[in-house]
Amino acid sequence: MVLRATIAGCGGYLPETRLSNDELAALHGLETSDAWIRERTGIGFRHMAAPDQTASDLGAAAARDALARAGVAAEEVDAILVATSTPDSAFPATAVRIQAKIGATKGFAFDMAAACTGFVYALGVADSLIRAGQARCVLVIGTEVYSRILDWTDRGTCVLFGDGAGAVLLRAEENGGTREDRGILSCHLHADGRFGDILHVEGGAGSNGGAGLLRMSGKEVFRHAVTKLASVVDEALAANDMSHADVRWLVPHQANLRIIEAMGRKLHLPAERVVVTVDRHANTSAASIPLALAEACGDGRIGPGDLVVMEAIGGGLTWGAALARF
């Protein structure tokens, strides 16, 4: 028998304020249009956190949703892993803030910083903790308030991002150790720091004493995304002796519709089997995959037995993929 991390529940939270492209342009005096943004990115709307909302507020709401859908009490959670680039503070970790807010009274909690790949990284670490027997019930949360780190004069970046949080609850389950098992089959993580400057946030607590603004070389990021995502998905399938034909759903990082469509074609999946939320949520960084999972599981698209590929690329550069059966 093999111990696997099975996905018991998915949850999400989006702030109340929802802005269209035209509303965003008018609010910040941007020289852009709905047509310009949609043509290049596929984005039509994004949600923005209220002034008094932090990443831990959003993450706690998503965690409560995931727990409710799994039918699990917060007191049962052994560990909380939070992927975020916009933490409440340098320390304590946003994860322990969430732990207190949801009333999880045992175990441990910590943050992970891998930008848009953060959720896949956190999922991989949580899977390892469960396989090693160090935890049996783990919350993995992606939560972001990117509206706090955007340069609202730069139309090349500020129109791309939104705020939100998503969460999954993982539970340990013994399986037969085959490719038909429920749960996370494998996670594949990569990084190449030589390309760190093509997508980064200026400054930090250990350099200039405070966080700066997001900067991105869009063309360079796009070039790396297409090749690296295709490679890591193939790596995940090969590791499990599977092919593109075995995949039921692609749940990708929601950064750009062109990249998402390219990955769907790579896997020979029809558009209706690729989960897309970027048009309504924009890029919510580490929150984008769990938010998309919560939507697709909540409306019944993803069901028992479905093989799902999750993949992401983000600042670092970091990239990775996870293969899971629901």
**Cα(63)–Cα(59) distance, integer angstroms:** 6
Q: Where are the alpha helices (DSSP H) in the chain?
A: 21-28, 34-41, 55-70, 94-102, 118-131, 155-158, 218-239, 257-266, 278-281, 288-298
Beta bridge partners of 318: 191, 314
Q: Tokens for 293, please give them.
A: 């999972």
The answer for residues whose C-beta is within 8 angstroms of residue 324's C-beta and 6 or more apart is 7, 183, 184, 185, 307, 308, 310
Query: Is 187 designated active site?
Result: no
Identify whether 116 is a catalytic site residue: yes
Nearest to 81 by CA among 148, 169, 12: 169
Selected catalytic residue, list 10, 47, 116, 200: 116
Between CA 53 and CA 145, with CA 9 as vertex, the angle to 5 degrees is: 20
Can 281 be counted among the known catalytic residues?
no
Report d(CA 37, CA 9) in Å as an integer.
Answer: 34
Task: Determine which one of 253, 256, 281, 297 is catalytic.
Answer: 253
- Spatial CA neighbour of 265 closest among 295, 306, 308, 230: 230
Taking CA 235 as the corner, what is the angle to CA 9 and CA 177, rounded to the nearest 5 degrees? Answer: 55
Sorted by sequence, the CB contacts under 8 Å of residue 115 that are 6+ apart come out as: 85, 199, 285, 286, 314, 315, 316, 318
Asked whether 132 and 325 are in contact (CB, 8 A), the reply is no
Catalytic, out of 10, 187, 256, 283: 283
Single-letter amino acid code for the residue at 168: V
Q: Per 3-state DSSP, what percentage of the chain is helix, strand, and coil (rounded to 5)?
A: 40, 30, 30
Q: Which active-site residues does the annotation give?
A: 116, 253, 283
